[in-house]
């Protein structure tokens, strides 16, 4: 059943990460050196891995437990992505100027929220199925 609410949450999470890749600026420090670039292998791998995990989770809609585990792994992957962004942002000189560091580094947090909401909905569905099985 692809029309469940967790599918919408997972699609929003994937769209946020794709939007992050498309919108993410190249972060340049005061000296003109590139600090973070969107085509960097580490960032590109984490972004693609997270989007692929989300799409695999959407396609495993019949296996709720697997979907739940894949979303947990995706949350961990997004935390790693956020950690990379924060680490790189802290290496830029100039304080906490948002225009210099970019607001795009907060998009993994939005993705994590959508993944947590999807897991909550999956848990609710699983509890409903267990309660119906108990009645039989």
Please report which confidence band the pLDDT of residue 65 belongs to, taking 50, 70 and 90 as the band edges.
very high
Q: Please check the confidence at residue 74 and state whether its pLDDT lies above 70.
A: yes
- Cα 50 to Cα 15, 56, 131, distances in angstroms: 11, 10, 32
Q: What is the pLDDT of residues 12-28, one digit of tens each?
A: 999 999 988 887 766 66
What pTM value is reported for the model?
A: 0.83
Q: Please check the confidence at residue 113 and state whether its pLDDT lies above 90.
A: yes
């Amino acid at each position: 059943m692809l029309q469940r609410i967790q599918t919408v949450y997972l699609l929003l999470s994937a769209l946020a990460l794709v939007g992050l890749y498309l919108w993410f600026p190249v972060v340049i420090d005061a000296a003109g050196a590139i600090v973070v670039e969107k085509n960097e292998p580490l960032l590109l791998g984490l972004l693609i891995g997270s989007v692929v995990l989300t799409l695999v989770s959407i396609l495993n809609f019949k296996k709720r437990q697997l979907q739940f585990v894949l979303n947990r792994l995706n949350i961990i992957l997004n935390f790693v992505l956020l950690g990379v962004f924060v680490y790189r942002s802290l290496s830029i000189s100039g304080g906490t100027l948002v225009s210099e560091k970019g607001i795009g580094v907060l998009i993994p947090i939005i993705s994590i929220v959508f993944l947590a909401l999807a897991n909550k909905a999956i848990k609710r569905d699983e509890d409903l199925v267990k309660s119906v099985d108990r009645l039989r």
